[in-house]
Structure 1
Amino acid sequence: MSTGIEYPMTLADREREYSPSSCIGGNYQPFLDEYQARSEEALQRHAVVLNLSYGEKASNRLDFFPAPATATLPPLLVFIHGGYWQELTKASSLFPANGCVPEGIAFAAIDYTLAPEASVLDIVRECRAALRWLHAQGAALGFDPQRIVVAGSSAGAHLAAMCCLRGWASDPDLPPGLPQAAVLVSGIYVLEPLIGTSIDAALSLTPNEAALVSPGLLPLDGFPPALLCWGEFETNEFKRQGTEFASRISRARSGSDTDTGISAFEVPSRNHFDVILDLAQRDTPLGDAALALLARP
């Protein structure tokens, strides 16, 4: 199905607006290096179980950081990395454990098959399978399966949002209450503007395929509480997509209670690449808001 939506931007406009590095001079490697350094720090500081298998493919692996033992089972934060569905791995996505574990929160980072070896649809299904697996393993791994919060950055935010859908025709529903909440950072929620850009070279999206995996165009009934944010130094399109998706979720949830459970905000002095470093870090706008979600009973 075609969305029928027209994007008045030229191809050059879309190339710029959907290139996060266009706001920082083009070089984002220092931020990737920071992800890696902080992830290596997490491996040194905290107990971890590496390469747990949630599916049949070699890429269907996750790393799990248990929380310190307490009288009650801790919540779990599941992180899905970005990279436009074609870059990065869980190895450089472990840094949120540095904030989670000291707060008594278990943490998991998942890998998935990258494009072009997998389509975006395939990747969405893998991420949903990872959440199903984790939910089933709560007792064995020592966390509360009813308190799983999914988080993602950039393409990972898109994938996390797709994990929150109910009644999606392309995959069975996740167990009731899974996930309990979502943290969506600098995401894209309507994918059609990417068609024809250099980003699409590995994705090969068609309008029908893009619509099928665009949570911003799909029914949002049953979407869990969520926070959405983006950095001050991001393109207008990233900000627009986050703002509009937050509004759509709020409208979908407005009949449930007076508080829709949706918050959306811009993080001052942060860009597309460094805003996610605040995830689960106290005394930061994103970290404090995420920890408040994880504290929900």
Structure 2
Amino acid sequence: MFRLAILALVALTPAVTAADTPKLLTWDDLASRAKPAPDATISYGDDHLQKVDLWLPAGPRPTGKRFPTVLMVHGGCWTTSIADRSLMNWVADDLRKAGYAVWNIDYRGVDRTGGGYPGTFQDAAKAADTLRDHARQYGLDTQHVVAIGHSAGGHLALWLAARSKLPADSPLHTARPLRIAHVISLGGLPDLEATAASPDNGCGTEVVGALLGKPTPGRPDIYRDTSVPRLLPLGMRQDLVNGQEDRIIPMRLATGYVAQAQKAGDSIALHVVPQTGHVELVTPDTAAWAKTRQLLAAALAQRHH
């Protein structure tokens, strides 16, 4: 499954030529590394994709304390055949070694039965909320959860943080969504309207229609409960990390969203990493991931104040 996913992702990555500088990482560069394994896998539904991988720091946690906790969301154009949660194994393992617990969620993509609207969103929401059910058992801190999402997962991470703003009549609305204190989006696609209007984005424009469905008389506005700008302000800090050489996610999708969030009054910053493409964002030992680690440490330091 993972090999097929990597092959699909390679198809989304424009070829690097000798004239290109710098030489960017490919998905095969990441996949060729020894693949670490999570500490536990937890089901939140009956489908084989309704799973969460839990990564825990080694050794006992300090008495009376809980592990700082990251909610992680993979990308892959909301399409399961392109990527699943295992794409994040390397960075999840890196965070585990650094002392963080990682709640790495999966969900049914648009190419799976039950995926699309509302299923993909409901899966992500239920996967996130299930963290609370296991927090005591595994020592997870639910008071200051930081969400990290990559690519399409950047959209879902921001959307998860926005769930308290969902219209009450939306099928995606829940009474008590998991509270997220901070979001770090890595080459994300937060604005679905802009993504659908950007044929140069690596996911293409048709996938947004597959994700959201077509407008109907009963649901004329398909973006009102799905596209993050419609739910602004989110009311928590947001950091966007984007590669200057990313050939999958056009930079304007980041700058456009930042402008909207700032206008709405949110605290948000865009961090552009030089000599960085899309793969570097989820690869340990890169400048992009070092930046994410720095932002994460700063975000979680706030829980002590």
- TM bin (shorter chain): 0.7 to 0.9
Once the two structures are TM-superposed, the CA of residue 173 in structure 1 deviates from its matched residue by: 4.5
- Calculate percent identity across the aligned residue pairs: 19
Aligned equivalent of 1:12: none
Once the two structures are TM-superposed, the CA of residue 144 in structure 1 deviates from its matched residue by: 0.9
Aligned equivalent of 1:234: 246
Is the CA contact (8 Å cut-off) linking 2:244 and 2:275 kept in structure 1? Answer: yes
Q: Find the aligned partners of 1:155 and 1:90 in 2 and give their Cα distance.
A: 12
Gap change, CA 1:132 and 1:206, over 3 Å in 2: same
Once the two structures are TM-superposed, the CA of residue 91 in structure 1 deviates from its matched residue by: 2.1
Once the two structures are TM-superposed, the CA of residue 283 in structure 1 deviates from its matched residue by: 8.2
User: 1:223 pairs with 231, 235, 259, which one?
Assistant: 235
Q: Is 1:84 paired with 2:91?
A: no
Is the CA contact (8 Å cut-off) linking 2:12 and 2:248 kept in structure 1? Answer: no
Displaced runs of 4 or more, over 6 A: 279-283
Once the two structures are TM-superposed, the CA of residue 74 in structure 1 deviates from its matched residue by: 1.4
What is the identity, as a one-letter code, of the residue corresponding to 2:40?
A: V
Q: Find the aligned partners of 1:186 and 1:89 in 2 and give their Cα distance.
A: 17
1:210-257 C-alpha deviation (Å, 9 max, x unpaired): 4542112x1323432121111011259631111222233333345xxx
Query: What residue ranges of structure 2 are gaps of 5+ in the alignment?
Result: 1-10, 18-23, 216-220
What is the identity, as a one-letter code, of the residue corresponding to 1:100?
A: L
What is the identity, as a one-letter code, of the residue corresponding to 2:44?
A: Y
Kindly tell me the number of residue pairs found equivalent between the two proteins. Answer: 265
Query: What residue ranges of structure 1 are gaps of 5+ in the alignment?
Result: 1-18, 255-259
Aligned equivalent of 1:194: 196
Aligned equivalent of 2:93: 98
- Map 1:48-197; keep pairs closer than 5 Å: 48-50=39-41, 52-68=42-58, 69-71=61-63, 72-86=65-79, 87-117=82-112, 118-165=115-162, 166-169=164-167, 170=170, 171-173=172-174, 175=176, 178-192=179-193, 193-194=195-196
1:150-175 C-alpha deviation (Å, 9 max, x unpaired): 11111000111110112212323474
Is the CA contact (8 Å cut-off) linking 1:36 and 1:93 kept in structure 2? Answer: no
Gap change, CA 1:185 and 1:237, over 3 Å in 2: closer
Q: Find the aligned partners of 2:141 and 2:44 in 1 and give their Cα distance.
A: 18
Gap change, CA 1:222 and 1:155, over 3 Å in 2: closer
What's the TM-score once normalised by structure 2's chain length? Answer: 0.75
Alignment RMSD (CA, Å): 3.2
Q: Find the aligned partners of 1:132 and 1:48 in 2 and give their Cα distance.
A: 19
Once the two structures are TM-superposed, the CA of residue 201 in structure 1 deviates from its matched residue by: 5.7
Q: Find the aligned partners of 2:111 and 2:224 in 1 and give their Cα distance.
A: 19
